[in-house]
Structure 1
Amino acid sequence: MINPMSMFTRQAVRRFTTSAIRRGGHHDPYDGIPGHNMPFSTQNRHKLLLYFMLFCGSGFSIPFLVIRHQLLK
């Protein structure tokens, strides 16, 4: 059984946060556009591919480089 007081509290909190956001005047011109909230650009496919390959490739190659270094010591 749902406690009626907790239901009221949830609704009050929801109303308060929604109105606080509206009153704050928060307006993001890129709100809802995919890719605009990322720390890198997704407009150039080739640049994105290069960054992706460098990021994933460096993480994948580090264990192999460490083993090679240890074997050559």
Structure 2
Amino acid sequence: MIGRSTLLARQAFTSFVRHHSHGGVPGENLPFDITNRYKLTALFIAFFGSAFGAPFLILRHQLLKNQQS
């Protein structure tokens, strides 16, 4: 029983490992490209800007909704 669970765990782990990985390359395992600095900057601004701006937009929506009533 222990041998079988160990074998299943090993198979699951090896399926998660990327076999085409070269190892030691910065940014290789990221879901976005870091070679184009301008595109990366735009993505960061959009990502963090939307998170920062969301409460203000929600507040504006609620305040405008209360004015119309």
TM-score by length of 2: 0.64
RMSD (CA atoms): 2.0
Instruction: State the Cα distance separating 1:30 from its structure 2 match.
Output: 2.6
State the alpha-carbon separation in 1 of the partners of residues 45 and 23 from structure 2: 29
> Identity, % of aligned pairs?
50
2:6 is aligned to none
State the alpha-carbon separation in 2 of the partners of residues 68 and 27 from structure 1: 49
Name the SS of the counterpart of 2:35 in structure 1: coil
Larger Rg: 1
TM-score by length of 1: 0.61
Tell me whether 1:47 sits opposite 2:33 in the alignment. no
Moved over 3 A (4+): 26-29
State the alpha-carbon separation in 1 of the partners of residues 59 and 46 from structure 2: 20
1:59 is aligned to 51
Structure 1 residues 66 and 33: CA distance shift in structure 2, 3 A: same
Amino acid across the alignment from 1:46: Y
State the alpha-carbon separation in 2 of the partners of residues 34 and 66 from structure 1: 38
2:29 is aligned to 37
Deviations 1:7-36 (A, max 9, x none): xxxxxxxxxxxxx8xxx7x85443100011
